[in-house]
Amino acid sequence: MSTPGSDVAEAASVGLFCSLVSPAIVEMIGWAGFDFVILDAEHSLVGPEELAHQLRAADAVGLRALVRIPSATSSLAGPVLDAGAAGVVIPRVRSASDVEAAVRAARYHPWGRRGLDAGRATRNGQAELRQAVRQAARDVAVVAMIEDREGVDAIADIVGVPGLDAVLEGAADLSQSMGTPWETTSPVVQSALEQVETACRAANVPFWAVPRQPPDAHRWRERGVRTFVTGDARNLAARALEEHCERARERIRA
């Protein structure tokens, strides 16, 4: 049995994090052909008005935009969904209670307690409001990030929470939780990620992978994973600028 918003979680294939506070970058991600973007309100200093502009930019290019909010109990969940976000990504999920709190904030009755609003998500009230509630049940995604040893240990309970649509791995913070910061490819971290994916598969909850090495995507695809977050626009831009500068200097010296 599918959970609310599972169509969104299933349909996505290749996406990016975006920690840059810029609507123009969001447009570029859409024009580049990505299926979705996760706007980062956890590790960036983005404000509500800037997020609203980024969500409009995503709409303009037909890009599905989710927002990573600061925590499961963040008051930002409702406002970003009211502004048109396709879903929320919850960082540092350690227990089923974290997911339950996020579901309460992100979903309407009967799964949650999200406040009713006739804002941008309903075309400022021009949509039929009761239908908008039913539409949100189908389309809004709640995605839990597993970034701690506690989350790995509790994964069977986490994926059993009604209203959860997908689980996104967070190998970086997970490596720190296990005492090996940034050693994301270490056997202990990879084993934990496989434990999480196995629990997701058993519960029929999509697992979203973050491939960091060329073989990673193939390995996850063999396990049935179909949704990939392939980096952060900030880091991709920095590397592209560095490579461009190096090539420019080589041409000048030639």
Of 202, 82, 204, 206, the closest CA to residue 144 belongs to 206
DSSP 15: E
Catalytic residue of the set 43, 53, 218, 244: 43
With a CB cutoff of 8 Å and minimum separation 6, the contacts of 107 are 4, 114, 136, 137, 140, 142, 163
Q: Using an 8 Å Cβ cutoff, are 109 and 56 in contact?
A: no
Beta bridge partners of residue 167, listed in sequence order: 144, 207
**62 conformational bin, left if phi > 0, alpha if psi -120 to 50, beta if neither:** left
Distance CA 94, CA 253 (A): 53
Q: Using an 8 Å Cβ cutoff, are 108 and 132 in contact?
A: no
User: What is the torsional sign of CA 205, 112, 42, 68?
Assistant: positive
43 is catalytic: yes
Residues classed as catalytic: 43
